[in-house]
Amino acid sequence: MTSINPAPGILKKLRSRNHLLAVSAVCFAMTLVTMLSPEDPAHGDRLRHEIIGIVSSIDQLDPQLGVIGAGSSASQIMQNVAKVANEAAQQSYEKSLTQQVIVRPGDNLSSLFNQVGLSAQDLFRVINSSDESSVLNRLFPGNQLSFYIPEPGQLKRLEVFTSPLEGYVFTLIDSSYNIEPISKSADIRQVMRHGNISDSLFLAGQQADIPANVIMSMAEIFGGVIDFLMDPRQGDEFSILYEEKYLDGQLVGFGEILAAQFINQGREHLAISYTTASGESSFFSPDGESMSKAFLKNPLDIFRISSNFNPNRTHPILNTIRAHRGTDYAAPTGTPVRATADGTVMWASRNGSYGKLVVIEHHSDFETKYAHLNDYATGIRKGTKVRQGQIIGYVGATGGATGPHLHYEFLVGGVHKDPRTVLDQLPQAIALDEGEMARFREHTREVIRQFARSRPDGRLLSLNSQTDRHSFETLN
């Protein structure tokens, strides 16, 4: 048996008789733990270390004990310390009887239960406890299961983590399992990452160690002002201020983007997350203009454009001059196609050389067409109301297409317009009310400072309006 002498490090912490009594109680509890674990020395050592942790943190133990203070009796201190020690011992004991399993590709519930020595009957009893147990049918590789089995074949508790922070706990009560959600709180840290484009936006994100979903979110934020298929150029740069989530010191996920900056061909775009006094959240430029525009710059995010708007283009099949009244986006079959603005579906069927076609009518006499689709998204039919960014179909090669791509047209009053240039002529999104601007400027002050400090010259590259210049000048 390993002897432990805590005196040198702990006596320095003792400021009162009650602290001495607390340490004595813990030492007594440690002796009990040792006596309760004679058959498992390693388990006894683990329990003793748990208690030593309590002793070494005796100052932080005060709120738990609730009695370290004037007037506390020795018996009260002993009772409370024993309670804490007992809880630690119980947790450690249960941990020793708990088996952790990570879901891997090809696993199923039967194989997972079999891994920990549980039968098909045990599985049946769990999944038939209640309708909520259907969560077990939605497991994915990487999910974690924690089985507490105090005796062979007896599953007393099952914890299912669908993410590091969320999950469900199945607790055996009588002959069935009670199911409750689990939610853990993560530590949130703000980080700023910078990227420079030499090839593509996504490669630049990888090189800057920025997660792909954060890059995608940034592309969505700037989707109304930057065409990420055509606008980015070599030498463009970007910065993103976003949240990282940590649990027990380990990175477990990513939170919201707080602000993003994109410098495209020398022009700066800065988007800042802001929640209005009425509770509506969105991204705004420093002068209070919403980054959400009437139309997205394009219906796809990440694929190249194979054929731009060209009224004198030679048709690839007929070999004749035929106006190409739209833009072609080359993309693999099945790539999701988004509605570029809110509207109503006026056509969702085949239409000659267009193949499978979706036509959406928008407010103020605007219309968009999406042709050569492989299929339509669920629920897309004539009369369906759609929202900007909603998936309406999938890239294909139906109709007169030479290969999989999306043919996109933009009409104003029935007249075809170049979708790459007409958007600059459209009314922009409504800016914040003047009464909201003082609150907005106060919120954005430190964010603008951070992006200014992130530049070598200590300033924002370009300020896009008089309000921008006023916002920046008030910081310096």
pLDDT tens string 202-218: 888 889 999 988 998 99
Nearest to 324 by CA among 306, 347, 301, 348: 306
Which pLDDT score is estimated for 344?
97
**Is the model's pLDDT at 189 over the cut of 60?**
yes
Task: Please check the confidence at residue 377 and state whether its pLDDT lies above 90.
Answer: yes
Cα 412 → chain centroid: 37
Any idea which of 46-55, 73-82, 353-362 has the lowest mean pLDDT? 46-55
List of residues 6+ apart from 262 with CB closer than 8 A: 218, 222, 226, 236, 237, 238, 268, 269
The verdict on pTM exceeding 0.85 is: no
* Inter-CA distances, 340 with 140, 295, 408, Å: 32, 5, 10
Handedness of CA 321, 327, 329, 334 (dihedral sign): negative
Q: What average pLDDT does the segment 455-476 reach?
A: 46
Residue 6 is predicted with a pLDDT of 46
What are the structural domain ranges in the chain?
Answer: 7-96, 98-183, 188-293+441-476, 305-425
Q: How many residues does the chain have?
A: 476
User: According to the model, what pLDDT value does residue 471 have?
Assistant: 44
Q: pLDDT: is 108 or 132 the higher one?
A: 108
pLDDT confidence of residue 363: 82
352 sits in the region (left: phi over 0; alpha: psi -120 to 50; else beta) called left
30 confidence band (pLDDT: 50, 70, 90): low
- Per-residue pLDDT at 191: 93
The third-level CATH classification (topology) of the domain covering 305-425 is Glucose Permease (Domain IIA) (2.70.70)
Report the chain's mean pLDDT, rounded to a whole number: 78
User: What average pLDDT does range 337-365 have in this prediction?
Assistant: 94
Q: What integer pLDDT is reported at residue 448 of this predicted model?
A: 85
Decide whether 98-183 matches 305-425 in CATH topology: no
Distance from chain centroid for Cα 145 = 22
Give whole-number Cα distances, 239 to 190, 215, 230, 293, 307, in Å.
13, 10, 20, 21, 31
Topology given in CATH for the domain delimited by 98-183 = Nuclear Transport Factor 2; Chain: A, (3.10.450)
User: Which residue matches tokens 């708990």?
Assistant: 98
Q: What is the dihedral of CA 318, 320, 324, 329, to 10 degrees?
A: 40
Q: What pLDDT score does 163 carry?
A: 87
CATH number for the domain running over 188-293+441-476: 3.10.450.350
Q: What is the mean pLDDT of residues 24-34?
A: 56
pLDDT of residue 304: 39
